Structure 1
Amino acid sequence: MDVDGVLTRGEIAIISDGTEMRLFNSQDGVGLMVAYQAGLQTAIITGRATEAVRKRAEEVKISHIVMGTFSKLQPLLELCERLGLAPTEVAYVGDDVPDIPPMKHVGFAVAVANAVDEVKRVAHYITERAGGEGAVRETIELLLKAQGKWEKAVGEFIGDPEWNRGL
């Protein structure tokens, strides 16, 4: 998945000392940690390389971090090869034109609700939530529910395997 516009609302604040600041959605973070609990490999491929993004990725258990590249297809293909996956076994979440090449190669291309029209045209699914506002959580929940893993992963994440009994 992309970072700016997907895990964030796409806004970048640059402080006077040149430090960049981004805001991340907490529900996306929980979704990523539930995905980790379920054994789902996650990755970010982003054009900007910042310590804030690396720190957040580590906090929410993102498995693979590729930063500093605006050409996203080659890193995606290399990651697939390293993991022994065909691109058709991969989902990718994007919001802007640099995300189109990887989206055209994966099995499940997701555009966030506020993605540009060009990205929406190549997507298999468009989220109801905007980037930085829970779109990643929505996608993870959709994927894990389709695999029948959501309920168990949530239970393991919160330490209560019977959390939904009687609901």
Structure 2
Amino acid sequence: MSNIFAHHQTNPYPDHPQALERAANVKLLVLDVDGVLTNGQVWIGADGKESLKAFDIQDGLGIKLLEQCNIPTALITGRNSKMVLARCEELGVQHAHMGVENKSLVLAELLKSLGMQEKDCAVMGDDWPDLAMMKNAGLRIAPAQAHLEVKKVSHLITAREGGSGAVREVCDLILKAQNRYDELLNKAKQ
């Protein structure tokens, strides 16, 4: 086995043997929002506007830990939401693209602006609008409740569902694959 497994004797994802190896090369994490950072439910108020979204606090810490390792996170979503903007501000996510119809085009523009290639990013999506964006990513990820067609093209299907720690699971995988997890954990224990 490669040095990726130095601190972790076995691959934490035996059903997805290439996930850890692919995660070692990730320079950017790209996430859909509804169904990935949230459970996919959209609460609509009496005024007809989106009124509530729930985010998992552990997902947020995972995003912050990646940022500490110079691995930024980008959000590309089809919906517009003030709540998502507020969450991005809270987490320091600088690349938030909302109201997007063609996610793969926005991803291509983002990668170009960052001087990266598709193989440099991990993309996590849960439904058909994410398929084109996921197509050429170096690491394609689906949360546990994702649509079957998304799962078919994924290198990894998380154990947890979107909005319930699936993003943190991915962040931990990237940190472990890049030998940063133990270092950050030890800092947290001090």
| TM-score, L = length of structure 2 | 0.80
Q: Distance in 2 between matches of 1:70 and 1:129?
A: 27
Q: Which moved more, 1:30-39 or 1:135-144?
A: 30-39
Distance 1:15 1:39, change over 3 A: same
Most deviating of 59-68 and 4-13: 59-68
Cα-to-partner distance string for 1:42-90 (whole Å, 9 max, x where unaligned): 0000001111111011112223100001321000010000000010110
Residues 118 and 162 from structure 1, CA distance in 2 versus in 1: closer, same or farther, beyond 3 angstroms? closer
1:95-153: per-residue Cα shift (whole Å, max 9, x none)?
00011111111100001110000000010111000011000000010011100112333
Separation in 2 of the partners of 1:138 and 1:151? Answer: 15
Residue 29 of structure 1: CA displacement? 1.0
Partner residue of 1:149 out of 170, 180, 183: 180
Tell me what 1:13 maps to.
43
Which amino acid is 2:167 matched to?
V
CA distance in 2, matches of 1:108, 1:9: 22
Q: Secondary structure at the match of 1:105?
A: coil
Residue number in structure 1 paired with 2:60 = 29
Among the aligned pairs, what percent are the same residue?
43
Question: Counterparts of 1:74 and 1:162 in 2: how far apart (Å)?
Answer: 38
- After superposition, residues 113-124 of structure 1 pair within 5 angstroms as 113-124=144-155
2:111 alignment counterpart: 80
| Residues 98 and 162 of structure 1, relative CA distance in 2, 3 Å threshold | closer
Number of equivalences: 159
Identify the residue that residue 41 of structure 1 maps to in structure 2. 72
Distance 2:140 2:127 in 1: 13
Question: Which structure 1 residue ranges, 4+ long, deviate > 4 Å from structure 2?
Answer: none
Q: What is the aligned partner in structure 2 of residue 66 from structure 1?
A: 97
| 1:10–1:162 CA distance, 2 compared to 1 (3 A) | closer
TM-score, structure 1 length as denominator?
Answer: 0.90
CA distance in 1, matches of 2:179, 2:92: 21
From the superposition, tell whether residues 131 and 162 of structure 1 become closer, same or farther in structure 2 (CA, over 3 Å): closer
> What residue ranges of structure 1 are gaps of 5+ in the alignment?
156-160
Equivalent position of 1:133 in the other structure: 164
Structure 2's unaligned 5+ residue stretches are 1-30
Distance 2:55 2:101 in 1: 21
- Larger RCO, structure (CA 8 Å, separation 6 or more): 2
